[in-house]
């Protein structure tokens, strides 16, 4: 049974020109309104050369919809055979195609020649006219703006599942909305593909979720438990409902949620199927889905995105997919790193987005959501937020800071540490506090690595990480120097606490940018 028209937009140039996704959506929606066409949410094609996965999915769903509204005719496949396959399927099912930018419609055999003539004219024009130079690698994925600055990165990186990586993509600051993001080169996409192919969440603790602190004096708690409590307190969640955990990994969030809300139906979705068995064993989990939000069946009262948004090259399109899966009163739970409080996040190779509160708000607003609740203290070094669907159209006037607070200092600190660390600890046997991203990155900068990793998480005691023993603070030799691999302000507080509790070893906090002696 038909149900309306699906929009189709793309996060790549159309005939050499880049139109921001939110503008494409507005054009498609306006076309539908003017022509009396019932409009469904758009599918967005990501900026990968030659990729038409979302278009193929939309064409496959023509059995269930009235047709497709393209932002532009020139978002059709570049090869004539591919276009003709779409024409044939549309006519066989009695559906129609629409092209909002060109104000064209297709629903009969006689329209085929007319459309193909336009492709012939376009090919002739592009072969005789000077091509427009456009660098799609640097366009801001939130506002479509061009960078105000670009910083070449000359230090090595770490993957988000905490493995050393030889390089990091350049860092850009958008001149429009101030977003700090990475240059999306072909090499970056290749790196990400390799990283996700062999992804191992929490491998340092053999799958046990990392424990975190809200404040220096607080007890260690699983991140997921804190997030579930945040959603419970802010949303007054009922005893039953449906939760979709996007990027569920091995099920840490689902496991915590099942303990608090045993009456809920739980669905996990992830690009990798490696966590399927672990997720399937969690009470209340109905299904594990390989794919993205659009692949999960039905609608949900709560959708969780825990350490997901920073990985997404096209967040507006992604959040549009998420919105299509929400019930009208549903909410989205987000947890993402804060680069301003944790500069080491910039070294994470597959983190393409680095949010400040201002740019997180801008993304929220532009993607049609309202910020229901926010906390920067629930989990230190991270943004925790709850979003609900906004009423009405969203303004596109940017209100974000054009220069994100701390961006320059964050980049400079890592650049400086990459030089300072091997000089400061030359020929010295040291320990490193932590087994996470910062500790891994620090170890890679040292000429001699580390004698020990020191961790306060009991799940990691007695393990081996990077072929190095992991010990508890109680087991640190008195004559050992331990570098506290945390952002400077946090590292100072930790070093002071540990020096009081364990006065034998020398606890050296990560220096601030001003304290680096280069």
Given this model, what pLDDT does residue 398 score?
42
Question: Would the pTM of this model clear 0.85, i.e. be above it?
Answer: no
Last residue of a domain, one of 351, 372, 405: 405
Last residue of a domain, one of 384, 405, 426: 405
Same domain assignment for residues 219 and 354: yes
Residue 104 lies in a domain: yes
Residue 235 lies in a domain: yes
Given this model, what pLDDT does residue 49 score?
56
> Which residues, in sequence order, are bridge partners of residue 355?
338
Q: What is the CATH number of the domain that holds 368?
A: 3.40.50.150
Same domain assignment for residues 268 and 351: yes
Summarize the chain as % helix, strand, coil (round to 5): 35, 25, 40
Given this model, what pLDDT does residue 457 score?
86
Residue 517 lies in a domain: no
pLDDT in tens, 427-437: 899 999 999 99
CA distances from 93 to 56, 61, 190, 273 (A): 15, 11, 38, 34
Q: What is the CATH number of the domain that holds 455?
A: 3.40.50.20
Given this model, what pLDDT does residue 131 score?
45
Domain that holds residue 474: 411-509
Residue 515 lies in a domain: no
Domain total in the chain: 3
Same domain assignment for residues 324 and 415: no
Residue ranges of the chain with per-residue pLDDT less than 70: 1-2, 15-16, 46-50, 124-134, 201-218, 391-406, 517-518
Same domain assignment for residues 58 and 206: no
Same domain assignment for residues 445 and 367: no
Same domain assignment for residues 241 and 311: yes
Given this model, what pLDDT does residue 1 score?
46
- Structure tokens belonging to residue 291: 């794919």
Q: How far apart are CA 351 and CA 354, in angstroms?
A: 7
Given this model, what pLDDT does residue 399 score?
43
Residue 217, Cβ density class (10 Å: 0-12 exposed, 13-18 middle, ≥19 buried): exposed
CA distances from 188 to 135, 373, 400 (A): 15, 33, 27
Given this model, what pLDDT does residue 269 score?
96
Same domain assignment for residues 351 and 311: yes
């Amino acid at each position: 049974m038909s149900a309306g028209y699906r929009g189709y937009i793309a996060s790549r140039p159309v005939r050499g020109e880049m139109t921001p996704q939110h503008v494409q959506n507005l054009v498609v929606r306006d076309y539908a309104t003017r022509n009396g066409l019932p409009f469904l949410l758009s599918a967005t094609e990501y900026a990968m050369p030659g990729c038409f996965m979302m278009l193929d999915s939309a064409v496959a769903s023509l059995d269930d919809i009235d047709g497709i509204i393209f932002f532009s005719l020139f978002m059709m496949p570049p090869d004539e055979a591919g276009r003709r396959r779409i024409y044939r399927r549309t006519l066989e099912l009695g559906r129609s195609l629409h092209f909002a930018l060109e104000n064209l419609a297709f629903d009969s055999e006689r329209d085929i020649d007319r459309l193909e003539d336009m492709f012939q004219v376009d090919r002739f024009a592009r072969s005789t006219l000077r091509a427009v130079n456009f660098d799609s690698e640097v366009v801001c994925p939130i506002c479509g703006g061009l960078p105000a600055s670009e910083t070449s990165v000359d230090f090595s990186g770490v993957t988000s599942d905490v493995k050393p990586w030889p390089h990091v993509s350049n860092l850009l600051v958008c001149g429009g909305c101030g977003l700090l993001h990475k240059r999306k080169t072909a090499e970056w996409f290749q790196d990400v593909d390799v990283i996700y192919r062999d992804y191992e969440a929490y491998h340092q603790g053999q799958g046990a979720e990392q424990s975190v602190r809200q404040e220096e004096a607080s007890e260690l708690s699983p991140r997921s438990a804190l997030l579930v409590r945040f959603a419970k307190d802010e949303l007054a969640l009922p005893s039953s409902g449906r939760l979709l955990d996007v990027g569920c990994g091995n099920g840490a969030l689902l496991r915590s949620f099942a303990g608090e809300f045993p009456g809920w139906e739980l669905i996990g979705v992830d690009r990798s199927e490696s966590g399927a068995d672990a997720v399937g064993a969690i009470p209340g989990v109905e299904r594990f889905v390989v794919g993205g939000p659009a692949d999960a069946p039905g609608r949900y009262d709560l959708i969780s995105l825990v350490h997901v948004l920073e990985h997404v090259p096209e967040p507006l399109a992604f959040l549009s997919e998420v919105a299509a899966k929400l019930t009208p009163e549903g909410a989205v739970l987000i947890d993402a790193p804060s680069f301003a409080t944790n500069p080491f996040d910039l070294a994470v190779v597959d983190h393409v987005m680095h949010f400040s509160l201002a740019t997180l708000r801008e993304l929220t607003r532009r993607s049609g959501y309202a910020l229901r609740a926010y906390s920067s203290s629930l989990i230190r070094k991270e943004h925790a937020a709850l979003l609900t669907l906004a009423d009405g159209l969203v303004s596109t006037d940017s209100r974000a800071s054009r220069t994100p607070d701390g961006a320059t200092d964050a980049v400079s600190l890592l650049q400086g540490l990459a030089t300072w660390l091997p000089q400061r600890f030359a020929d010295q046997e040291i320990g490193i506090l932590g087994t996470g991203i910062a500790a891994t990155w620090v170890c890679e900068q040292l000429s001699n690595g580390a004698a020990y990793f020191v961790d306060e998480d009991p799940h990691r005691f007695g393990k081996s990480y990077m072929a190095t023993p992991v010990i508890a603070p109680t087991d640190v030799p008195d004559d050992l120097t331990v570098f506290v691999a945390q952002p400077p302000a946090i590292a100072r507080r930790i070093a002071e606490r540990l020096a009081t509790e364990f006065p034998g070893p020398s606890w050296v906090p990560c220096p601030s940018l001003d304290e680096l002696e280069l």
